[in-house]
Every structure is written in structure tokens, then in C-alpha cells.
Structure 1
Amino acid sequence: MSVRLIVRTFSELCITAGALIILFVVYVLFWTGVKAAGATEGQIDELQNQWAHGAVTAPAPAPSGPKQSGPKPSASAPAPKAYRDGKPFAMLYIPRFGKDWEWPVLENTKVRTLQKGLGHYRGTAAAGATGNFAVAGHRRTYGDPFKDFPKLRPGDAVVLTDGTTWFTYRIDRKPYRTVPSDVGVIDPVPRKSGFEGPGRYLTLTTCDPEWGSSHRLIAWAHLDATQPVTDGRPAAFHS
């Protein structure tokens, strides 16, 4: 085989490899975002349709515990149905991430679910309930919902609605970095959060580093206020 043929073959292989790399990058950076946008819009439409017909969902009730002081969700709505696996049941807003940042929350944290929005950890608390309402989301790809996760600061609002009530949570500390096996971060009283005793908490989780998954970033918040959706958007959107 001549040197010229070897060089030409090597060059063609490099070009092919380069083209494949470019296609992969386009898929990761662009196409997954396009797919997520369409899927997310579909989940939001489904939620709006549910709420227009008065359908509000919630997890099966947990065993009763000691009464808690502090803000309570509106009691005017009828008893909600259980969350449906893989289906949307709430909308989440984080003003720190921009005025247009809004994502549907679906039940479970499976790969296919997180391609459509944020995922609620099965077995964790309902929105606004005593316990820990825990949510996972992609840092990058599929719309990059938690791209700006490290920007979260104490006092930032995390606003959730189930169609009848607005729940405003407040971040308690800067994001905490840990490993994927540290499942205690979504306990009813999340470990290492600084919270003491039962309460109404929220946990957000995402991957770290930005384009990897060797670690997790965690943000913890406590329920600060509730109000019916009929009263309009809460003040947290304007602060």
C-alpha cells in the first residue's frame, strides 16, 4: 500500500469522525432542546386542560404526624386524586432563573420523564405538605432547565402551583454538592440541610459538573407562604 493511499484513507477517516462528532454535538446542544420544548409544551397543555376541568392531583396521603405551625394550603378544594405515574401535576417557577422560566413537574424521575420536564421523586411529600417535596431536573440537555442552578442564593423564591394553590418556598442556603448515592438529601427532614425536625420542605437536585454526572447539586427550601390561585400570582414573582 502506497504512502499516498495511507494518507488519503487516514484523512477520510478523520473527516468521517469529525462529521460524527459535529452531528453528536448538534444533537446534544440543539436537537434535545427542540424535543424538550415540544414535550414540555405538551405537558403544560395537558395540565391546563386538567385544571380547566377542575382536576387536581396529589400523592396518596402519608401517615398523620404532629400538627405543624406555619402556612397551610387552601382547604377549599375537594380531595385531590393521586399523582399519576409519568404525568404532569404542577408547574414550577424560579424567578432567579428569569421571568420566562417555567417547567411542568411530572411524577417519577425516570429518564423519559426528565426529557419532558422536571421529575418529582416518588414517595416524597405533596406540594405544600409536611415532609419534603423533592424534584430532579437536567442541568444540561433537554432544555437545560437547571443550567443556572449554582446561581441560587438564600432567600430566592421557588414557586409551585397545583392549579388551585400557589406555594412559595424560600431557598435556605447555597447549593450543596454531594454524590449520587447520598439519598438522604431527599429524606422527609433532609440530611445535611440544617433543618431541624418535621416541616414543609422542598429539595431541588441536578447533576454536577455542568456536562457530567459524577456528583449532584442540591438546593433546599422551606415553605414560606401559600395563597389560592384566584388571588393572582404571589408577590414572589415581583420581588
Structure 2
Amino acid sequence: MRLVVRTLSELCLTVGALIVLFVVYVLYWTGVQATSASAGQIDALQRQWTNTPVAATPAPGALPYAPGRGIAVMYVPRLGRDWAWPVLEGTGADVLKKGLGHYAATARLGGTGNFAVAGHRRTHGDPFRDFPRLRAGDAVVLTDGTTWFTYRIARGPYRTVPTDVGVVDPTPVKSGFDGPGRYLTLTTCEPEWGSSHRLVVWAHLDATSPVADGYPQALAG
């Protein structure tokens, strides 16, 4: 009996240690990895833009974004003065470990249609941890190295289910937008530590300015 009790006790301690290690990995180590990866992506984009600036306006029929490659850097002042994440092409697990992901079937940045982006709410750096704080009128600013694109959120977060793929349509029906335009959609998981639902915000392009002119007004403060 003593041997059975000792064995069970040791087994419980081992399982408990593994659970603790897993929690540390999920809550801490994935964040360390994501922070390092996102900083590396931003640095790589900035070096690329310095050496070979992108065209301010994509030529008609421009090649699609390369899967897994950086597209832009996003800033959301509402989420913090230092909040900055790279946007990469695609929404696969490997991409979202490094930053935010652009839905490949949606529009190009600044183009007519809907430039849709996904990001983790928790783990892998928690980029959209404070997503519920977003409000109508908040700025979402992106740059592709040549141009600043300032979008304005149209309404607070909308809660829906993962199968509601219409939220990234060129003109999302539930966004309140009337007809074609230059839109931005952000999506993340809901609840905070689950994925049974999604939170969505929609924004419209409010202004553009050359990077050479300095930071846009939304980031100047």
C-alpha cells in the first residue's frame, strides 16, 4: 500500500510540474518568442524599405503579397504608445506567432476593398489583448514604408462566430458601410482565453500621407 501511495504521489507531482511548465510556456515563453520575432520582422521591414522603397501606389495587376512575408507595420494608439506590430501575409499558425496576419483573399493595404487582419488575443505576445477597448473614432495607422494609411474605426467591437466569414467581405454587411470603399477589418478571438467566438472591428480609410512628411497626426502626440 505504501508503494502504491508513494507511486501515486510521485505521479501527481510529475503531472503537476508538467502543468506548471505548460502554463509558463503558454503565458510567458510564447510571449518572449513573439516579441522577439515581431521586433525582428519590423527591423527587417525597415531595412527593406530603406534599401528598396516600395511604390507609393501599387501598379495595376501588382503581384500578390508573398506568403509569410512582411507587408506593413501597424500602430493603434488606443492600445498603447509603444504598441506596434508587423503585418505578415497569411493567417496560419506560423505567421501569427510572429505578428498579425493579413487574410490573403482580401484587399491590398490602402486599396479599394477590405484589408483584413487577424491577431491573437492571448499568447504569442497578446497583440490584441485589449481589443475590447477599441471605440468608434479610434485611429489604426499602418505604413508600408512609403505611405502612412490612417483608418478610423466605425464602431466598437462586434461579437460573432468563427463561421461568419462575411466579416471580411469587400463591403461587410454588418459593418454599416454603404457601398464599396477602402476598408480595414481587425479580428481576434473571444473570450479572452478561448476561441468559441470572434471580436471584429471595421474601419474606413481616413487619410494618407507620405512617410517623408513625418508621422501622421494620429501618431504625432
Verify: 1:164 aligned to 2:146, yes or no. Answer: yes
Higher helix share: 2
User: What pairs with 1:102-181 in structure 2 (closer than 5 Å)?
Assistant: 102-181=84-163
Which entry has the higher C-alpha Rg, 1 or 2? 1
Matched residue type, 2:120: H
Deviation at 1:9, TM superposition (A): 1.8
Superposition CA RMSD, Å: 1.6
Matched residue type, 2:37: A
Deviation at 1:5, TM superposition (A): 2.4
The answer (yes or no) to whether the contact 1:227–1:234 under 8 Å persists in 2 is yes
Q: Please list the CA deviations of residues 24-68 of structure 1 after superposition, one character each: whole Å capped at 9, or x if unmatched.
A: 0010011101111221122112101210122427xxxxxxxxxxx
Matched residue type, 2:28: F
The answer (yes or no) to whether the contact 1:130–1:200 under 8 Å persists in 2 is yes
- Which residue is equivalent to 2:214? 232
Q: 1:100 aligns with which of 70, 77, 82?
A: 82
The answer (yes or no) to whether the contact 2:53–2:146 under 8 Å persists in 1 is no
User: Partners of 2:147 and 2:111 in 1: how far apart?
Assistant: 12
Deviation at 1:17, TM superposition (A): 1.0
Q: 2:187 aligns with which of 194, 197, 205?
A: 205
Matched residue type, 1:10: L
Secondary structure, counterpart of 1:122 in structure 2: coil
Which runs of 4 or more aligned residues in structure 1 lie more than 3 Å from their structure 2 counterparts after TM superposition? 77-82
Q: Please list the CA deviations of residues 88-113 of structure 1 after superposition, one character each: whole Å capped at 9, or x if unmatched.
A: 01000000010100000001101100
Secondary structure, counterpart of 1:8 in structure 2: helix
**Which 5+ residue runs of structure 1 have no aligned equivalent?**
58-73
Deviation at 1:78, TM superposition (A): 7.4
Secondary structure, counterpart of 1:29 in structure 2: helix
Matched residue type, 1:48: Q
- Which residue is equivalent to 1:36? 34
- Which residue is equivalent to 2:197? 215
User: Partners of 1:191 and 1:81 in 2: how far apart?
Assistant: 28
Secondary structure, counterpart of 2:31 in structure 1: helix
- Which residue is equivalent to 1:62? none
Matched residue type, 1:176: Y
Identity %: 68
**Which 5+ residue runs of structure 2 have no aligned equivalent?**
none
TM superposition score normalised by structure 2: 0.95
User: Partners of 2:21 and 2:38 in 1: how far apart?
Assistant: 24
